[in-house]
Amino acid sequence: MKPKLLLWDMGTVVTRYTESCVDAVRRFNARLASTEEYADFQLPDRPAARCFLAVEGGTVRGGYLLNPHCYAFRGEVRTIAHYQGPISEGVLDKAYAGIGAQMLRTALKEQPLLFGLGMGGFDNPLPRMLSAMGWTLAGVPFYALVMHPQRFLRELRALRGSLPQRAAMELARATGAGWLAIHLAQRASAVRTPRAGFHWEVVPRFGAWADAVWEKSHRRYAMIALRHREALEALYPEREGRFLRIRVSEGTAPVGWAVVLDTAMRDHKHFGNLRVGSIVDCLALAGSEYPVIAAATDALKRRNVDLIVSNQMHRDWGAALRRAGFFSGPTNYVFAASRALSALIQPLEQAAREIHLNRGDGDGPIHL
């Protein structure tokens, strides 16, 4: 069956990925892999149902994935799509700079309700292009809690990029000034003990109780991905042993849950060799956000991680993290909404902190 041609622009056609394009995709990936900056940006090696390619003659010049997701908007469920991993020859050759916009226009024709997530920060090419094309962008705040300050100061490469930075970190570590500063900063806002009656446990799977938490909580969010039992089992399947599922209860009644990771980093570009705990995903009844964060933090602390991180958009989850002693820092995790999607949550600038987004959305907990 001949693939559907979706858009023609200056000799380049955007079309669905079929078997006939495999060799051309591999050559495109090889061109990216030959560069240090874009070596990790690769299109699927085999045809994928949701993958689209920009093709000039028989040469692949770019591609992207268009992944559908169900989100609830104040309780109303709509299907929207994640504009995932777009990459074009324009990053290698400015003669193809227009292909990125061409691919985006094609994606919008296919699904006007589009979003982007992650993207490495506001200054990267994709967020800048989305902003120029009328999309609304908002950062998903980053939070961190340092458990072992000495290892943190030695290993965190984001603070050791230059010789003066490395010297300052070593001085702070050697004198104890770094430990003291981190301790005081985290203690300033921390109230570490939830009220009596809350308790947590690690569970092997999500049960019917997760449906009850979803039904009692999701309508208050301006936007939230489906997080009932079926969705959670697909996102965090029992066979994936790396996910820790934490159920939090008050008395005998579950009030929320969290999914966390415990990852020993190896020569990571940001975290070096730190053991990083991450609060990937979470949901709670209104008012129970802090007990859930406290439980996730306690679980990771018992595993002796060096650092705990999380990205959380909603203001109540941010407040819960700050109450648990987390501090906020610069974020490279960006949420972008197309014009049609923004219209569902207008005004987005004010509603952004009523959206529930974290590392469980979009690509999922990659790089963690």
pTM of the model: 0.87
> What is the average per-residue pLDDT within 118-135?
92
* Element spanning 105, H or E: helix 99-110
On whether the CB atoms of residues 169 and 154 are closer than 8 A, the answer is yes
> What is the average per-residue pLDDT within 91-116?
94
pLDDT score for 247: 98
Chain-wide mean pLDDT for the chain?
A: 88
CB atoms under 10 Å from CB of 158, counted, come to 13
CA distance 187 to 327: 10
> What is the average per-residue pLDDT within 175-202?
68
pLDDT over 70 at 146, yes or no: yes
pLDDT score for 352: 85
Tokens of 250: 């008050």
CA distance 280 to 42: 24
Q: Letter for the amino acid at 241?
A: G
On whether the CB atoms of residues 104 and 129 are closer than 8 A, the answer is yes
pLDDT score for 169: 58
pLDDT over 50 at 8, yes or no: no
CB atoms under 10 Å from CB of 201, counted, come to 11
Length of the chain in terms of residues written: 368
> What is the average per-residue pLDDT within 106-132?
93
For the chain, percent of residues with pLDDT exceeding 90:
70
Q: 5-111 with 142-328: one CATH topology?
A: yes
For the chain, percent of residues with pLDDT exceeding 70:
86
Residue 73: phi and psi, rounded to 5, are -115, 100
Domain boundaries, the chain: 5-111, 142-328
> What is the average per-residue pLDDT within 20-30?
96
pLDDT score for 48: 87
Radius of gyration of the chain (CA): 22
pLDDT digit string (tens) for 248-264?
999 999 999 999 999 99
pLDDT score for 6: 45
pLDDT score for 3: 45
> What is the average per-residue pLDDT within 25-53?
92
- What CATH number was assigned to the domain covering residues 142-328? 3.40.630.30
pLDDT score for 180: 55
pLDDT score for 5: 42
User: Top-level CATH class of 5-111?
Assistant: alpha beta
pLDDT score for 301: 95
Q: Tokens 């648990």 correspond to what residue?
A: 324
CA distance 69 to 58: 32
Residue 118: phi and psi, rounded to 5, are 95, -105
On whether the CB atoms of residues 53 and 62 are closer than 8 A, the answer is yes
CA distance 335 to 119: 8
